[in-house]
Amino acid sequence: MAAQPAQQIPGVYHRKIGDIVVTAISDGYLDGTLDVMRNVDLTKAEQALRDAFRPARRTSVNAFLIHSKGRLALVDTGSGNYLQPSAGFVQRNLAAAGIDPKSIDTVLLTHMHPDHSAGLTDMTNGQLLFPNAELVMHENEPAHWFDDGEMAKADERSQKLYFLAGREQVAPYRNRTRLFRQGEVFPGVTAVPSLGHTPGHTAFLVASGSDQLMIWGDTVHVPEVQTMYPEAGMAFDTDLAAAAAARKHMFDRVSADGVLVAGMHLHVPAFSRLARRRDAYALIPEAWVHGMD
């Protein structure tokens, strides 16, 4: 009798962008309700989920490896053990992809939220999980999350989950942190600040030859709803209006040019294009690509 598989295959997928290879690494997913959404009629948002055959909000969490010019970067690090047991699988999926975390020379952070930065440091022993990596992020991120005055304005949950969690994960890298405002931050990778979700939230444009990939960070958290209602935001957007403006700007840019996108909260393996549909948009996931050349 053939035994049924008892475990899922690894959440890893390669996509070539010119001479660069980008690998989606799944961290897992976070389940919840739509109560965290803002600036949207929740009845309509729930209908959008149902129309997409999703009984509830499932937020996929991804990180992306970038092999470029003999170097190796990881964009975001997943959620470590800070959030739900259904997430925190970046290390396991890196191993499945044959990647030794010691070989990663750069960690690019889209922003300092726990589903992105909580995979940096093992808090049980203070060890860096990427011991040879330089940590690279927008200068507004540590400026905001390490600011006690800003922290005092936040409620207790946000202080713990965003300010303190971010600080303890990032601080061990303080002697190997590089801050940017914009520009090329890794070979073939340009920072595209997309401020609002957090003060330094940044997308990364990967370009090689005529190929491009926009890793758009947290442009969306609930793709089924926010492509229908681009003004819809999240309770944990630092600046709801700026986040919505940044999202609309990003949607315009990638849909007008048909740019391949990937995101931290697009469903695995995330590589998609965004099509304009009158006042709304639709994400079209790319078909599986076997070839690596």
List residues near Zn ion by CB under 5 A.
115, 218
Residues in Cβ contact with 192 at an 8 Å cutoff, skipping those fewer than 6 apart: 182, 202, 203, 204, 205, 214
Give CA–CA dist 108/24, Å, rounded. Answer: 14
d(CA 244, CA 229): 10
Report the phi/psi class of residue 251: left, alpha or beta, with left for phi > 0 and alpha for psi in -120 to 50.
Answer: alpha
The C-alpha atoms of residue 9 and residue 218 are separated, in whole angstroms, by 26
In the bound complex, what is the minimum distance in angstroms from residue 116's beta carbon to Zn ion? 6
Closest Cα partner for 141 from 63, 198, 222?
198
The nearest distance, CB 57 to Zn ion, in angstroms, is 13
CA distance between the termini of the chain: 39
In whole angstroms, the minimum distance from the beta carbon of 110 to Zn ion comes to: 8
Residue 46 vs 218, nearer CB to Zn ion: 218
Residue 66 CB burial class (10 angstroms; 0-12, 13-18, ≥19) = buried
Report, in Å, the least distance between residue 108 CB and Zn ion.
Answer: 14
Output 243 or 274, the one with its CB closest to Zn ion.
243
Smallest separation, CB 23 to Zn ion (Å): 19
Q: How far is the CB of 187 from Zn ion (least distance, A)?
A: 26
